[in-house]
Amino acid sequence: MRALDKKLVRDIRRLWAQSLAIALVLACGVLAMVMMYGAERSLTGTRDTYYERTRFPDIWSNAARAPKSLVPEIAAIEGVSQVEARITENAVLDIEGLDSPAMGQIISIPASGAPEMSRLILRAGRLPEPGHDREVVIAEAFANAHGFRAGDSFGVTLNGQKREVTITGIVLSPEFIYTIGPGSIFPDDKRFGILWMPEEVLAAAFNLSGAFNSVTLSVTRGTDLEEVKDTLETLLKPYGGSGPYDREAQTSNAFLDGELEQLAVMVQVLPPIFLVITAFLVNMVLGRLIKLEREQIGLLKALGYGRWDISWHYLKLAMGIGAIGVAIGWGTGYWSSMAIARVYGEFFHFPYLVFVQYPAVYALSAVIGLGAAMVGAALAVRKVVMLSPAVAMSPPAPTRFRRGLLDRIIVFFRPGQPTMMILRAIGRWPVRSALTSLGISMSAAMIVAGLFMLDSFDELLDVAFVQVNRQDAMLEFAIPRSEAVLDDVENLPGVMRAEGAFATPARLYHGPRTRTIAIEGRRESNTLARVFDGDSRTEVPPGDGIVLERRLADHLDARVGDVIEVEFLQHDDLRRPVVVTGTVSTFFGLGAYMDQDRLSAMLGQVPQATLANVMIDPAEQDALYEAVKNTPAIAGITLMSQVRSSFDETMAESANISVVIFSFVASLITIGVVYNSARIQLSERARELASLRILGFTKGEVSYILLGELFILVAAAIPLGLWMGYGMAGAMVASFDTDLYSIPLIVTRETYIRAALVVAGASIASALLVRRRIDRMDLVSVMKTRE
């Protein structure tokens, strides 16, 4: 083994703790890259394979009642390869052991025996047989939530007719990999399920014989979807068509796309943070190591070693650290990507997982990881190796002392001698101190950016369930009804107050921009469901115009005072001008709101209601539930307390995981920076500190001189890190903004305190490790070293 290689082995053995700290920081960056990219590609591959095998549609559309004779015309649209007409309705479910009614969406199974599009995957049992009007298959998530098996039964109310149905099979469907019920924001598989029944049963129950109210289309590759949707809308409009939509707007697929997009964003955000910190740590450690070994470098040059030999020696040390970090990152990244992909696969109810790992990702992560270490090393090596042997072997020129503002401030306050030494050390190496503080601040920023969502969701919940929606429950009607139905609702047992709401599909136009949305009619006197702005915390009455959700207004490029055009899809082709009277932030969906009377006048009809928001007397809620199960006009009930509970449970689980992960990562960064800085300073100042001990300074005073500087840098880094974390959180909020939801930028005092405590705790732990070395320092051996 060459002499330099022997020295390399000794250096790695001597610096093992510092090298491991750096390698672990680098491993986090490699892990994040491999894990998130691997999970994102695996989920994308699983989704694409699942959609292809089950013939997932390209376009959907609903109608009030369209004749089946229209199907050949739809199939004749240019580019359409397959059409499937079906019936889909909501129903109230009566399940033994469940106190409140559950809701179900029931979809027809064609007479041929199985859907040709959105094919069902049988997990157990069989499909219903023709002629058996009391057989159903149910979604696996709903079955698991209730422990259902083939042969079990429960009650279903179809258009006011209650019947007992028997489960013949349990299935998965690509349309419902993410299932949320009306008024919900998270899946609640216990109270909302998907059911499939023979078409003739649903047609008879809902008076749809020879007709359909839902249609799905597949198109050939390269077909213009917008042209197909326009033609389909024209065909369905006379039959109450509500406007076609494609995969991008299909709820289940849209939520999955949102998750995949978030993973892609995190791949771009997290790894660079760790790689920059790695380069900084390598530069810091090697830079100071090289300064300590300046004389040895000069001696090596005098013995004939060239600049490249010496540079390559230190670069190999950096590569060794980088290789360890990459190896750890690869191993943990592979395992983590498989674990997170499996968790996502179960959450989205995939029947299988196509676990995909790309060698190019591992290669790229290795190149970037090693590159970060090499860059940090190169910056540290370049100055010293350029020195001639004579200059390198001589001690470096003393630092030029100039009395500056900081020195005058120090003298003015007359601190103790140890404190004065600390402050002067910071002032004389400001760049080194600033970089150390910056590295520490990144850990605080990481915690704030990772945990702010918990604060934001608290704000979101307050707006959604306290300010906007104050009702106890929403009762959905099978068809729109006159507002007189609210009197009947108030006569139901336990209902203390009822307010109506009406929604109708419409297309909004503003210049070249357009958006299909449901316009909701609200009365200004309503208090249970309000048009409320979550940012300003004020009600925004529509008046004679329309109020748009802020993201919808941005899509349309419409501002308050602008005139937009409204086309009601289930009525006529006229575009009616409406003034934008306000915008609101509601965080969920893209809403548009008008005064109930104004909306009804534009539609040319008496005010109607599609649902009732109600306040319930808790003492009579069981009687209300029983009445809902037996009331034909009610197609379903959504209990807001259960929606909130589902949300809280999901968030509580993810919150605990997030706190642990981000606290661990932040601690790792802090320890990597603080411990390495303290160890290097101890190496640089060992003779100085030993001299102070001989002169009578206690171990505590000597430790204070060394570690006090770091604590000051930590104290300066924490506020900077909190500010940086807020900026990172803002960038993440902007990247997560979708049509389905947006996240408010809220960071509470508790999150800032948690971030500060984690950084401070990790810094103290690092300091204690170094303090042990100071206490065990051999004064005689240290004083024998050359100055």
Q: For residue range 36-78, list pLDDT tens digits in order.
A: 888 888 888 889 999 999 999 999 999 989 999 999 999 999 9
Residue 218 has pLDDT above 90, yes or no: yes
Residue 448 has pLDDT above 60, yes or no: yes
Model confidence band, residue 289 (pLDDT cutoffs 50, 70, 90): confident
Average pLDDT over residues 249-276: 80
- What gap in Å lies between CA 198 and CA 203, rounded to an integer? 9
* Residue 18 DSSP code: H
- Topology of domain 495-616 in CATH is Barwin-like endoglucanases (2.40.40)
Residue 715 has pLDDT above 80, yes or no: yes
- Least Cα distance to 493 among 609, 638, 629 occurs for 629
> 485-496 burial, b if ≥16 CB within 10 A, otherwise e?
bbeebeebebbe
- Token pair, residue 582, equals 């306000």
Average pLDDT over residues 214-242: 90
Strands (DSSP E) contained in 523-643 are 532-533, 538-539, 546-549, 563-568, 576-584, 592-595, 608-616, 634-639
Q: Is 227 helix (H, G, I), strand (E, B) or coil?
A: helix
What pLDDT does 55 receive? Answer: 93
Bridge partners of 142? Answer: none
Least confident of 2-16, 357-371, 711-725: 2-16
* Residue 238 DSSP code: G
**What residue has token string 């109310």?**
157
Q: What is the mean pLDDT of the chain?
A: 82
**What residue has token string 């007719």?**
161
- Least Cα distance to 154 among 165, 146, 138, 139 occurs for 165
Residue ranges of domains in the chain = 1-61+247-397, 62-246, 429-469+641-787, 495-616
Bridge partners of 215? Answer: 61, 85
One-letter amino acid at 644 equals R
Pairing state of beta strands 538-539 and 532-533?
A: antiparallel
> 248-279 burial, b if ≥16 CB within 10 A, otherwise e?
eebebbbbbbbbbebbbbbbebbbebbbbbbb
What pLDDT does 412 receive? Answer: 59
Bridge partners of 219? Answer: 80
Residue 786 has pLDDT above 60, yes or no: no
Ramachandran region of residue 389, left (φ > 0), alpha (ψ -120 to 50) or beta?
alpha
- Least Cα distance to 702 among 693, 714, 713, 715 occurs for 693
Phi, psi at residue 442, to the nearest 5°? -65, -30
CA 318 to centroid of chain Cα atoms: 35
Residue 784 has pLDDT above 60, yes or no: no
What pLDDT does 158 receive? Answer: 82
Average pLDDT over residues 472-483: 86
Q: Which residue has the higher pLDDT, 643 or 69?
A: 69
pLDDT digits (tens, 9 = 90+) for 347-401: 788 888 887 777 888 888 888 888 888 888 887 777 666 666 666 666 666 666 5
- Least Cα distance to 376 among 317, 445, 440, 444 occurs for 317
pLDDT digits (tens, 9 = 90+) for 582-595: 998 877 778 899 99
Residue 167 has pLDDT above 90, yes or no: yes
Phi, psi at residue 118, to the nearest 5°? 50, 55
CA angle 423, 377, 27 (to 5 degrees): 95
- The total of other beta-carbon atoms located within 10 Å of residue 18's CB is 21
Average pLDDT over residues 95-114: 85
pLDDT digits (tens, 9 = 90+) for 418-442: 777 777 777 677 777 787 788 788 8
Residue 140 has pLDDT above 70, yes or no: yes
Residue 136 has pLDDT above 90, yes or no: yes
- What gap in Å lies between CA 191 and CA 145, rounded to an integer? 9
Can you spell out the DSSP letters for 405-462? Answer: HHHHHHHHH---HHHHHHHHHHHHSHHHHHHHHHHHHHHHHHHHHHHHHHHHHHHHHH
% of the chain exceeding 70 in pLDDT: 89
Say how many CA atoms lie within 13 Å of 390 toward its Cβ.
0
Check: CB of residue 460 under 8 Å from CB of residue 643.
Answer: no
Residue 287 has pLDDT above 80, yes or no: no
- Can you list the alpha helix ranges (DSSP code H) found in 463-477? none
- What gap in Å lies between CA 459 and CA 147, rounded to an integer? 35
Report pTM: 0.77
pLDDT digits (tens, 9 = 90+) for 501-545: 899 989 899 988 998 888 999 888 888 888 888 777 888 888 889
Average pLDDT over residues 263-270: 76
Model confidence band, residue 730 (pLDDT cutoffs 50, 70, 90): confident
pLDDT digits (tens, 9 = 90+) for 649-692: 666 655 566 666 667 777 777 777 777 777 777 776 667 777 77
What pLDDT does 446 receive? Answer: 80
Model confidence band, residue 785 (pLDDT cutoffs 50, 70, 90): low
What pLDDT does 781 receive? Answer: 65
What pLDDT does 778 receive? Answer: 61
